[in-house]
């Protein structure tokens, strides 16, 4: 990691630690010690295992979608790619840094840049479709649990549907009108290259034109000959989100609380949208505040702070550890690749 990345990682962790400390300060009471004695470590271990399975589902999604386009990427390579993505997501607003990392790693695996971009964007499209489906499911089937979170959460759910729908419409426009996408990207490129020589900008325009064609070609493959990749992608996307919700329920059971399966389902859905807001690096602080305010409706104060700390330990700090481990492997790989033969 570069020095600036370490700086943003420290900022992200600091945000999280401060918010967690405040949550603990206002929730710890005399009953907390008794609650800690009743912790079942088996279920907490299962929560970590469930989260690892979540990452595996993501890796299988990347692998099968890539393979469906005719490129061969192994499962372990895909898993390491996902781990590296976690660290980048932890230091960028709205966790947006993960996408370039995944594109870069696919490119290093001999997947053309346009195709790699199409795979990563299709991942986000599948996430959007799944979030829209889950939001509709929560509104219709889990109506009681959804409404129990209050008017603010209801508003977030409606905004979620509008936001996801808008993104899907925008994707459809760009997918069906590649010329519109080219013009948009060239205009954006002009903003950052105002002082470049015409010849240099012309090279960038040609590269944009070429990669948009590759991107559009990959989308055509997904729709025509690589439909299996989309089917598997949607399947593992569903498993990914279900596993994320199960992780929270396992932690609750480990703390001697009811699993709150349906409530956790709705809460995690809302949090997934909140964490898309580009407010803090890795959405640290936002996740803690959001989870605390919603789980406070169902959990006693004595256990609430402890639950939030463990929940973030599994879903955030563990991610950072996995990301650092993956980054070390990638640096060693690059160093070995750049070393002259003996």
pLDDT in tens, 22-38: 998 888 887 888 778 88
Mean pLDDT of 117-136: 81
Mind listing the pLDDT tens digit for each residue in 206-215?
Answer: 877 776 777 7
Cα Dmax for the chain: 71
* Predicted pLDDT of residue 312: 93
For residue 138, CA distances in Å to 52, 119, 128, 143 come to 25, 28, 15, 6
Q: What is the pLDDT of residue 253?
A: 93
Residues 127, 114, 202, CA angle at the centre, nearest 5°? 130
Alpha-carbon span 8 to 281, nearest angstrom: 7
Tell whether pTM > 0.85.
Answer: no
pLDDT for position 318: 93
**Does residue 160 have a pLDDT over 80?**
no
- Residue 203's pLDDT band, with cuts at 50, 70 and 90, is confident
Tell me which residue of 246, 9, 207, 225 sits closest to 117, measured CA to CA.
207
Residue 77: Cβ within 10 Å count: 19
In this structure, what token pair is assigned to residue 60?
Answer: 């299988």
| Contact between 38 and 242 (Cβ < 8 Å) | no
Express each pLDDT in 250-308 by its tens digit. Answer: 999 999 898 888 888 888 877 887 777 666 776 778 888 888 988 988 888 889 999 99
pLDDT of 227 higher than 50? yes
pLDDT of residue 340: 47
Work out the angle at residue 89's Cα, subtended by the Cα atoms of residues 243 and 238, and round it to the nearest 5 degrees: 25
Residue predicted with more confidence, 152 or 314: 314
Q: What is the mean pLDDT of residues 150-174?
A: 70
| Residue 342's pLDDT band (cuts 50, 70, 90) | very low
Q: Between these two residues, 233 and 90, which has the higher pLDDT value? A: 233
pLDDT at 145: 60
């Amino acid at each position: 990691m570069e020095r600036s990345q370490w700086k943003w990682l420290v900022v992200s962790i600091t945000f999280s630690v401060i918010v967690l400390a405040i949550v603990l300060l206002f929730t710890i009471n005399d009953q907390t010690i008794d609650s800690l004695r009743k912790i079942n470590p088996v279920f907490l271990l299962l929560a970590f295992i469930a989260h690892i399975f979540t990452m595996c589902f993501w890796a299988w999604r990347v692998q099968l979608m890539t393979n469906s386009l005719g490129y061969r990427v192994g499962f372990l390579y895909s898993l390491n790619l996902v781990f590296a993505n976690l660290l980048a997501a932890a230091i960028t607003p709205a966790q947006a840094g993960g996408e370039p990392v995944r594109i870069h790693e696919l490119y290093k695996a001999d997947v053309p840049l346009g195709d790699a971009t199409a795979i990563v964007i299709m991942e986000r499209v599948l996430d959007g479709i799944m979030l829209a489906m889950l939001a509709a499911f929560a509104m219709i089937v889990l109506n009681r649990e959804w409404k129990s979170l209050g008017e603010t959460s209801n508003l977030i759910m409606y905004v979620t549907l509008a936001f996801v729908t808008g993104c899907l419409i925008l994707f459809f426009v760009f997918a069906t009108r590649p010329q519109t996408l080219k013009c948009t990207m060239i205009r954006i490129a002009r903003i950052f290259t105002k002082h470049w020589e015409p010849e240099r900008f012309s090279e960038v325009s040609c590269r944009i034109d070429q990669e948009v064609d590759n991107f559009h070609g990959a989308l055509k493959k997904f729709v025509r000959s690589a439909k299996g990749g989309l089917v598997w992608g949607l399947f593992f996307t569903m498993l990914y989100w279900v596993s994320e919700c199960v992780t929270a329920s396992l932690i609750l059971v480990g703390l001697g609380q009811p699993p709150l399966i349906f409530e956790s389902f709705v809460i995690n859905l809302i949090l997934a949208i909140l964490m898309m807001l580009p407010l803090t690096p890795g959405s640290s602080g936002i996740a803690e505040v959001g989870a605390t305010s919603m789980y406070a409706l169902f959990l006693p104060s004595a256990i609430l702070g402890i639950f939030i700390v463990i929940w973030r330990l599994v879903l955030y700090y563990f991610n950072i550890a996995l990301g650092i481990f993956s980054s070390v492997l990638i640096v060693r790989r690059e160093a070995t690749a750049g070393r002259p033969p003996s």
